Chains A and B, each alone.
Chain A
Amino acid sequence: MPPAIHVKHVRKSYGDLRAVDGVTFEVGHGEFFGILGPNGAGKTTTLEIIEGLREADGGEVTVLGLRPWPRNPALLPRIGVQLQATSFFERLTVREQLRTFADLYRVPAQRADDMLEVVGLTSSAGTRTEKLSGGQAQRLSIACALVHRPDVLFLDEPTGALDPQARRNLWDLLRAIQAEGHTIVLTTHHMDEAETLAHRVAIMDQGKILQIGAPAALVRGLAHPVRISIESGALSADEARAVADGATVGDDGVSLTFTTTEPAPVLERLADRDALAGLQVAGASLEDVFLQLTGREYRA
């Protein structure tokens, strides 16, 4: 059984710019795969090559065992695509919009109305799409991509311009979609989004994949120190030194913080002294992995 998506040594240049420079990865059936990278890393170009919107200069791409380029009519009904912009027909209502897409895929209108329910837009069915909020428009856009029950769903920065509530609302929707068995490929530059949604992520920069794996495994591989903090004043200075036993200690008047690469003994000693009030343990996040890989300098 071939993987849902197979990408090998894919290259694409625009003049001197190597937008995609030898990218290789595979995505399994039912997997939620994230492509993470700063703006201009080549995420969208990679996605467009896989979708069949652009021709690669070299390399090999198959989706569900089929070649996406040139435009492959056998593949189109099996993939769903949500592009960066919300691509709607002008001046149609939410229901009309979705039914139009359903017709394009020869799917019954009832299925379109069911999808409205799934993305929580039933109450806005009669609203013109121009009047939707950013989050509603994204949910409709995803509904349009899902109306024909595609095996593979591509989402290009779906939460780009959303407020925190709308983002989390959309995450819940995406998890539910994945749970139904759809394979999802998502690009994002939000670390938390990739960390919370994706089974595996590929971190991409300057057209290359720098690292690939499960978010937790990537973070663990970083061997980044852990910060353990409790309420300031819960321990005397002597006690704090005893607990630290080699770890760095700091006190800013609000929190007493131990920084260590071996957090377990420190936590044990704190528990022995019953000094766990206000305990916070902060490990590395995907963001640390990302910054370590791509550097911190600002890129306009």
Chain B
Amino acid sequence: MTASKTPAPPALADDAGARTRGPNWQGFRSLSRAMFRGFVRDRAALFFTILFPVLFLLLFGSIYKSSSTPKINVVEVGRVGVLEQARAGSHGQLDKVLTVTHTTSLSHALNEVRQASVDAAVQQQGGKLIVHYSIANPTTAGVVQSVFAGIVQAANQAASGRPPAYQLATQQVEDKSLKPIQYLTPGLLGWAIASGGAFAAALTLVGWRKNKLLRRLRLAPVSTASIVTARIAVSVAVAIVETFVFIAIATTPYFGLKLTAYWWMAIPVVICGTLAFMSIGLLVGALAKSQEAATAIVNLIVLPMAFLGGAFIPLAFAPQWIVKVSYFMPLRYLVVGAQNVMARGDGPASALPAMGILLGFAAVLTVIAVRVFRWDEI
């Protein structure tokens, strides 16, 4: 070989140096795409990270919905002018409380009240409004009486032809008495984000260590940072998609979630939550020897946390000891942080402490995970 030739065989020695300079965006994009494809083609992962939590939302949303606003079923016997006037004058407000059916037979109507298939039967005899009700359910009985007392009073007042001396103004307050969907949505969403992030990180790490892809990538000109950020990017994207799926379902008229002004602050909370739970997955993945073991450990961590961190049992209704324990659960900060901005109408800044705690947790666990991390199984 002559001195003018390059040390390596000429055909092979192209711009090797140029290929290694600068951050490898092509590598990052390519890894993200590979991981995203791997995720969407994994039916089991798709089911458990996206569909399963959505099914929970549909299920719990439907169960709690029926118990939330009990309507009063009333049978109108013949024509009850006072009731009809009141309904017409209330612009639909009264129909939110009352469901009215019609019959001409009093005995038939009374029978229905006795069987508790309706809450009250109403008839009008001249100036007298007669309400037949059962005391079987005292709460309903109370509501029935006060509703009709109100209707009669309003009718009397209107008949007098004078303006009312007192007027009632109502103002809704967002408080602890949220409708179930308002806490079910952030709760179940938090659980979904938590398990999705933890599983993704743990299973990727164990799987890639087992098939030596980790070592193979270490010998490719792509940095560890690229690999890690690609994995995070895919998980964060999945979490955001999931958040929108949840919101889309929960805000349908059937479930009736009312998003408050700064609901969009839930997205940064979800991102921080994803990072926190991916760090749990990272630690599990660094320790577990097989994907089966990793799955079991992640379940063992995330599932109890779902009960103790306010995801399955809203903290407003939970026993005091759970509320105390919940402060040690990262899931609490994801759920409560999202709930405050999505459903309670708190300002955007209210989510910042929760985000800070989630990020701090992620940082601590990642440092530990890096310390116990192994490239291959020994």
Contact = CB atoms under 8 A, between A and B. Distances in A.
B31 A104 contact: yes
Contacts of A246: none
B375 to A, nearest CB: 8
Interface residues of B, number: 39
B212 A104 contact: no
Interface stretch (A88-96, A255-263, A273-281): A88-96
Interface string A75-94: 01111010111111111100
A81 B216 CA distance: 7
Contacts of A79: 219
Interface in B4-43: 7-9, 11-14, 16-17, 19-20, 24, 26-27, 29-31, 33-35, 37-38, 41-42
B323 to A, nearest CB: 41
Nearest to A2: B7
Contacts of A90: 38, 42, 207
Identify which of A74, A86, A90 gathers the most chain B CB atoms within 10 Å of its CB: A90
Given A88-B213, A90-B207, A101 B38 contact: no
Given A1-B7, A151-B8, A91 B220 contact: no
Given A92-B34, A103-B30, A85 B221 contact: no
Contact of B211 (A30, A64, A86): A86
Contacts of B19: 77, 105-106, 148
A83 B212 contact: yes
Nearest to A150: B12
A89 B26 CA distance: 17
Nearest to B39: A91
A89 B35 contact: yes
Interface residues of A, number: 43
Interface in A38-85: 51-53, 64-65, 71, 73-74, 76-79, 81, 83-85
A104 B24 contact: yes
Contacts of A2: 7
B215 interface: yes
Contact of A104 (B11, B35, B207, B222): B222
Nearest to B214: A87
A83 B12 contact: no
Given A65-B7, A74-B17, A149-B12, A100 B30 contact: yes
A182 interface: yes
A29 B11 CA distance: 13
A100 B220 CA distance: 11
A180 interface: yes
Contacts of A96: 34, 37
A64 B1 CA distance: 16
Interface in B37-68: 37-38, 41-42
B218 interface: yes
A259 B142 CA distance: 115
B241 interface: no
A181 interface: yes
Contact of A87 (B12, B213, B221, B222): B213
B217 interface: yes
A98 B219 CA distance: 16
Interface in A178-236: 180-182
Nearest to A156: B212
A98 to B, nearest CB: 11
A91 to B, nearest CB: 4
A73 B9 contact: no
Contacts of B42: 90-91
B7 A73 contact: no
A20 to B, nearest CB: 16
Nearest to A83: B212
Contacts of B211: 85-88
B221 A105 contact: yes
A104 B30 contact: yes
A103 B219 contact: no
Interface of A: 1-2, 29-30, 51-53, 64-65, 71, 73-74, 76-79, 81, 83-92, 96, 99-101, 103-106, 144, 148-151, 180-182
Given A99-B30, A104-B26, A104-B217, 19 more contacts: A30-B9, A64-B7, A73-B20, A76-B220, A76-B221, A81-B216, A87-B215, A90-B38, A90-B42, A92-B34, A92-B37, A92-B38, A103-B29, A103-B30, A144-B216, A149-B11, A149-B14, A180-B11, A181-B9
10 contacts: A76-B221, A77-B19, A83-B215, A83-B216, A84-B212, A105-B19, A105-B220, A151-B9, A181-B9, A181-B11
